[in-house]
Amino acid sequence: MAGQITDPINFARARVIVELGPGTGAFTRLLAQRAHPACRVLALELDTELAAYVATRYPRVEVINAAAQCLPEVLAERGIPQVDAVVCGLPFANFSAAHQASVVNAVRAALRPGGSFVSYSFVHAQVLPTSRRFRRSLQDLFGHLDIHPVFLNAPPALVYSCVA
């Protein structure tokens, strides 16, 4: 699934890529490997232990101990006006409507025109109202949503890709 999550990113052109919720770094590894040498890769992780783990394991990535909805403030503190891509591993199906909206709005505000947002949801979560709400919010905010199934993932997942 990490390949499917990172494939929508134009690595040749991207100069700032953000990962929200890197966890143990499954997507982080590919972002660090595939990013252009001139590209800045940032990862926002709320859990301090996971943030320290990812920072140690992937020194190329600037790991910030912050919540995803703080993305615009984190970027402003670093003098970054907009980003080229946001990859997200957060469990949106577990979030309230307000939490989902705050994260998605923060992502949308941070993306440059033509920038990409890529996330995922597990297939079994599609029956949950929270999962359906997340999908609808992406369609409403971005106008178009590409959905790619990854059945070989355990558990099977759907990769969501949007362009600002």
Residue pLDDT, tens place only, 35-83: 999 999 999 999 999 999 999 999 999 999 999 999 999 999 999 999 9
Distance separating the N- and C-terminal Cα atoms of the chain: 22
Q: Examine the pLDDT at 137 and tell me if it is beyond 90.
A: yes
**CATH code of the domain containing 36:** 3.40.50.150
Provide the percentage of residues in the chain whose pLDDT is more than 70: 100
pLDDT of residue 149: 95
pLDDT of residue 35: 97
Residue pLDDT, tens place only, 2-42: 999 999 999 999 999 999 999 999 999 999 999 999 999 99
Mean pLDDT within 107-117: 96
Instruction: Report how many domains make up the chain.
Output: 1
- The pair of structure tokens assigned to 67 is 């919540």
- Find the domain containing 141 and state its range: 1-163
DSSP 15-68: SEEEEE--TTTHHHHHHHHHS-TT-EEEEE-SSHHHHHHHHHH-TTSEEE---G
Q: Is the bond leading into 129 cis (omega within 30 degrees of zero)?
A: no
Query: Please, what is the angle between helix 97-110 and helix 129-142, to 10°?
Result: 30
Are 64 and 18 spatial neighbours (Cβ–Cβ below 8 Å)? no
* Average pLDDT over all residues of the chain: 95
pLDDT of residue 1: 87
**Cα separations in angstroms, 162 against 38, 55, 105, 128:** 24, 27, 13, 21
- The pair of structure tokens assigned to 87 is 């990859």
Are 6 and 160 spatial neighbours (Cβ–Cβ below 8 Å)? no
pLDDT of residue 70: 97
